[in-house]
Chain A
Amino acid sequence: MLRLEKRPQPSQVWTYTTPLLAVAITMVVGGILFAALGKDPLVAIRTIFWDPMFGQFASYSLPQLLVKAGPLMLIAIGLSFGFRAGVWNIGAEGQYIIGAICGAAVGLAFYPMEARWLIFPLMIIAGFAGGMLWALIPGFLRVRFGTNEILVSLMLVYVAEQLLASMSLGLLRNPEGMGFPGSRNLSQITSSQNLELISGTGMHWGVVFAFIAVIFAYIALSRHMFGFNVRLAGQSPKAAAFSGVNPKRLVLICMGLSGALAGAAGLFEVAGPSGQVSIDFNVGYGFTAIIVAFLGRLHPVGILLAALLMALTYIGGEIAQLTLGLPGAAIQLFQGMLLFFLLAVDVLTNYRIVLAKSEAA
């Protein structure tokens, strides 16, 4: 009989190997799933994990890796602080939308002015601010009235989606758009566009900010008092209070920070890869980033790698849909499995499996 036994110290080895193990199990179970759908599992797995980087369309799909990983990374880094501190912002998708709307609105307000040195930075600030304010709503409600930030932040995603629809049909609609919904295409306006910085790499300003965020997060968590307090508050809230951490302020900072980064991710997306404010602008980065944050062990470098892996499954999934005719839902299931198995094998970090002797008296 198998039995779980608590380790005296969390295992260092398993901390790093559980994500890999989770990926491996996901491939196996995913393969079985694809086989049940009548596809060759090996081909499907190769199409998802190998072809985007080394297949015949790699020159197209490789830059997409950074384009997709950038926002995931940026959002997940912000979320990781709150998740470590026990502040559960589940509504990054909403903050992402609001950041995009605010940033785009600033850009559109200045149209057709051409002062990019002024307009683009203002848009970035508006993106940060929009996401931050949206996230501070659940933060403030929790601090002031003790509401549950998980529910409030999640519900605000749907509010944000309605707002997005209203904006793309009304206030921000392109006046020259022949009545079609959606704003002017920001990526075609010199003063507000967020294009590739180095052609053929997918590297745009959002990716740059994402890498900067990874570095700052790493330093903050390992060296700065703020990171120490975040970790302390997550592990032992009472010890944090004794140490002198103000729990309410920490909630607000964590919510604000994660919202700001999600908002910025939205702005960089709307001004670049997506181009315009439209009804279906958001594609779920805010939710996928939650998986990325946990897959990356809430560690900045882990998040960097996890974002790239997630981006890979996105792109590989698209290729698999095109070439193998796999249904989109199967790909989403595949991504969900990754988090599921990660949480399941996570238990090995703090517990070891021992073979219990038979229950003889």
Chain B
Amino acid sequence: MRETLLELDGLTKAYPGVVANSDVSFQIGKGEVHALLGENGAGKSTLVKTIYGLVKPDSGTMTLEGKPFAPAEPRSARASGIAMVFQHFSLFDALDVAENIALGMENPPAMGDLADRIREVSETYGLPLDPARIVGDLSAGERQRVEIIRCLLQDPKLLIMDEPTSVLTPQEVEILFETLRLLSSEGTAILYISHKLEEIRALCESATILRLGKVVGTCDPRETSAREMAEMMVGSTLHTPEREAKDPGEVVLSIKSLSAPAPHRFGTALKDISIDVRAGEVLGIGGVAGNGQDELVAALSGEMRTGAGMVSLDGQSIGHLMPNARRALGLCAAPEERNGHAAAPDMSLTENATLTGTVRMGLTKNGFVQWHKARSFAEDVIKAFDVRTPGPENAARSLSGGNLQKFVIGREIMQKPRVFVVNQPTWGVDASAAAAIRQALLDLAADGAAVVVISQDLDELMEISDRFAALNGGALSAPRPAQGLTVEEIGLMLGGAHDMEVAHVEA
């Protein structure tokens, strides 16, 4: 039994209308790798924010190394030896690595000394990083290293990592795990938040599972199956998407030598992408974030125009057409970001139904919106896709992430597209909603549509794709049948380990 580092006792935090944490108690031992599991909205973020001093609990206490611990702000949490790597990086693109790290420190040393320390720590832990590089030029994996090194420079007793692998290739994940194991062997405890069960089984020695703000179980992930843990998370048995074998139909969407310059300074240029997608087929496109996913979706949806012949639908060139002209021909799309891109957060669901539905659903007459039709279209989507909301007059921002995503996907699928392009269909969506969305995508393909799913969740892509291709630096790999692909092969398609190396284990 390890010596206890941090003990949580009865932590409760309520927000208006929702109890984020209810009587949460558990312990983390010194050097322990402890997983915090739960669906979106289970209260994981609130809990770690409490430990990091960003949220003040309504009741309950924390004890760190036997002393009461109640950080009023992150600074005092850091001073007590708590460090955190956030899911969304807080880095300045225009500054270099050392400057970014100095900005996060209380008393940064002189720049030259800091650069030396960064090199030293990065070599010890197998996180090679040049302190002089500009952050805007770094890959997502490298940016994460900046955040980790920033934490390690403080010699933390507890390192909190929030969904750290969502931006990494499988090889990069393995290297990160080596680093974390090394840290653990040196006595640093790690609180690891994720919903990727296989990763937790590979890395963690104990797990606390949260559901709706409460602790619903603890387990040893090394001895518990992923399915058992998933069912504890969801609280019910999981439904795996069904698919029937089918013959591929004719080519519907054809992309020929699609190239486009980066739309903004930190965007990615598309490089000579060619691929055909057939009716009834699901093409999965994997890739680490920032390798051209957003740009590819924009080029297909019509937000970004390219050479006319670069994209064609049923043999007709559409690369030069605006989004509504493409919708009229049967191409619908759903971009990654729900709030502010796929949907307007301050507008009602009826208005959001109008956002893309005017052409195919006939919601306008002589340029005038027929609100009664728009409203009933929104109601149909809400009903068919089990969107939890009091009604279509509610603002999109009042919906939870999973519900809004169901609405956005449902809005496009209800339009019966010939081709449906979707980016990150289940990002930040709870497991049951994700299963429903994946099933809807498979059903759409079964009805004869060509479906292009872009995702960073490889398990998801393996589950629903017929063929798999990878985006790396704006170029698309040759597609391969998804059946029988191994994780290693996928990792190599994604660009391998981006020059990372395994931690030098020094005794």
**Chain A interface residues toward B at CB < 8 A:** 5, 8-10, 223-226, 228, 231-232, 235-236, 238-244, 246, 359, 361
Contact A238 B369 (CB under 8 A): no
Contact B355 A246 (CB under 8 A): no
Contact A9 B323 (CB under 8 A): no
B395: interface (CB < 8 Å): yes
Contacts of B356 in A (CB 8 A): 242-243
Q: How far is the CA of A361 from the CA of B62 in the complex (A)?
A: 11
Contacts of B333 in A (CB 8 A): 242
Contact A225 B355 (CB under 8 A): no
Contacts of B322 in A (CB 8 A): 244, 246
Contacts of B303 in A (CB 8 A): 241-242
Nearest CB on A from B477, distance (A): 27
Contact B72 A361 (CB under 8 A): yes
Nearest CB on B from A244, distance (A): 4
Given contacts A9-B394, A244-B302, contact A238 B351 (CB under 8 A): no
Contact A225 B344 (CB under 8 A): no
Contacts of B272 in A (CB 8 A): none
B342: interface (CB < 8 Å): yes
Nearest CB on B from A198, distance (A): 33
B346: interface (CB < 8 Å): yes
B462: interface (CB < 8 Å): no
Contacts of B369 in A (CB 8 A): 223-225, 228
The 5 nearest A-B residue pairs measured at CB? A244-B323, A244-B324, A361-B70, A236-B344, A238-B341
Given contacts A235-B344, A238-B340, A242-B301, contact A223 B397 (CB under 8 A): no
B100: interface (CB < 8 Å): no
Contacts of B340 in A (CB 8 A): 236, 238-239
Nearest CB on A from B399, distance (A): 10
Q: How far is the CA of A228 from the CA of B340 in the complex (A)?
A: 15
Contact B364 A232 (CB under 8 A): no
Q: How far is the CA of A5 from the CA of B301 in the complex (A)?
A: 37
Contacts of A246 in B (CB 8 A): 322
Contacts of B56 in A (CB 8 A): 359, 361
Q: How far is the CA of A235 from the CA of B352 in the complex (A)?
A: 12
Contact A236 B341 (CB under 8 A): yes
B398: interface (CB < 8 Å): yes
Given contacts A225-B358, A228-B354, contact A239 B343 (CB under 8 A): yes
Contact A238 B398 (CB under 8 A): no
Give the residue name and chain of the B residue nearest to A223 (CB).
B368
Contacts of A8 in B (CB 8 A): 395, 397-398
| Contact flags B291-306 to A (C-beta < 8 A → 1, else 0) | 0000000000111000
Nearest CB on A from B479, distance (A): 26
**B344-378 residues at the A interface, CB under 8 angstroms:** 344-347, 351, 354-356, 358, 364, 367-369, 371
Q: Which interface residue of A240, A242, A244, A246 has the most chain B CB atoms within 10 A?
A: A242
Q: 24 A-B Cβ contacts within 8 A?
A: A9-B394, A9-B395, A223-B369, A223-B371, A225-B364, A225-B367, A228-B351, A236-B341, A236-B346, A238-B340, A239-B342, A239-B344, A239-B355, A242-B301, A242-B303, A242-B341, A243-B324, A244-B323, A244-B324, A244-B327, A359-B56, A359-B72, A361-B70, A361-B72
Q: How far is the CA of A8 from the CA of B398 in the complex (A)?
A: 6
B186: interface (CB < 8 Å): no
Contact B367 A226 (CB under 8 A): yes
| Contact flags B318-350 to A (C-beta < 8 A → 1, else 0) | 000011100100000101010011111111000
Nearest CB on B from A201, distance (A): 33
Q: How far is the CA of A240 from the CA of B342 in the complex (A)?
A: 9
Nearest CB on A from B324, distance (A): 4
Nearest CB on B from A78, distance (A): 20
Nearest CB on B from A214, distance (A): 18
Nearest CB on A from B71, distance (A): 9
Given contacts A225-B364, A243-B355, A361-B70, contact A232 B323 (CB under 8 A): no
Given contacts A9-B394, A10-B346, A244-B322, contact A239 B341 (CB under 8 A): yes
Nearest CB on A from B319, distance (A): 15
Q: How far is the CA of A5 from the CA of B364 in the complex (A)?
A: 38
Q: How far is the CA of A239 from the CA of B345 in the complex (A)?
A: 9
Give the residue name and chain of the B residue nearest to A225 (CB).
B367
Contacts of B395 in A (CB 8 A): 8-10
Contacts of A224 in B (CB 8 A): 367-369
Contacts of A5 in B (CB 8 A): 16
Nearest CB on B from A328, distance (A): 40
Contacts of B358 in A (CB 8 A): 225
Contact A243 B337 (CB under 8 A): no
Give the residue name and chain of the A residue nearest to B323 (CB).
A244
Give the residue name and chain of the B residue nearest to A9 (CB).
B395
Nearest CB on B from A217, distance (A): 15
Contact B367 A243 (CB under 8 A): no
Q: How far is the CA of A238 from the CA of B347 in the complex (A)?
A: 14
Given contacts A223-B371, A228-B354, contact A243 B323 (CB under 8 A): yes
Partner of A238, one of B16, B337, B364: B337
Contacts of B323 in A (CB 8 A): 242-244
Give the residue name and chain of the B residue nearest to A354 (CB).
B16
Give the residue name and chain of the B residue nearest to A241 (CB).
B303
Q: How far is the CA of A5 from the CA of B395 in the complex (A)?
A: 18
Q: How far is the CA of A260 from the CA of B417 in the complex (A)?
A: 41
Give the residue name and chain of the A residue nearest to B356 (CB).
A243
**B117-153 residues at the A interface, CB under 8 angstroms:** none
Contacts of A241 in B (CB 8 A): 303
Q: How far is the CA of A89 from the CA of B189 in the complex (A)?
A: 57
Nearest CB on B from A247, distance (A): 10
Contacts of A228 in B (CB 8 A): 351, 354, 369
Give the residue name and chain of the A residue nearest to B321 (CB).
A244
Give the residue name and chain of the B residue nearest to A359 (CB).
B72
Give the residue name and chain of the A residue nearest to B339 (CB).
A236
Contact A232 B344 (CB under 8 A): yes
Contacts of A242 in B (CB 8 A): 301, 303, 323, 333, 335, 341-342, 355-356
Q: How far is the CA of A236 from the CA of B351 in the complex (A)?
A: 13
Nearest CB on B from A238, distance (A): 4
Nearest CB on B from A304, distance (A): 22
Nearest CB on A from B1, distance (A): 30
Give the residue name and chain of the B residue nearest to A231 (CB).
B347
Q: How far is the CA of A244 from the CA of B342 in the complex (A)?
A: 12
Q: How far is the CA of A194 from the CA of B345 in the complex (A)?
A: 46
Contact B367 A9 (CB under 8 A): no
Nearest CB on B from A265, distance (A): 26
| Contact flags B19-59 to A (C-beta < 8 A → 1, else 0) | 00000000000000000000000000000000000001000
Nearest CB on A from B391, distance (A): 13
Nearest CB on A from B259, distance (A): 21
Q: How far is the CA of A104 from the CA of B301 in the complex (A)?
A: 49
Contacts of B397 in A (CB 8 A): 8-9
Q: Which interface residue of B72, B341, B354 has the most chain A CB atoms within 10 A?
A: B341
Q: How far is the CA of A241 from the CA of B72 in the complex (A)?
A: 42
Nearest CB on B from A323, distance (A): 47
Taking A5-B16, A239-B341, A244-B322 as given, write out 18 further A-B residue pairs in contact, using a Cβ cutoff of 8 Å, ordered by the A residue number.
A8-B395, A8-B397, A9-B394, A9-B395, A225-B367, A226-B367, A232-B351, A235-B344, A235-B346, A240-B344, A242-B323, A242-B335, A242-B341, A243-B356, A244-B302, A244-B323, A244-B327, A361-B72
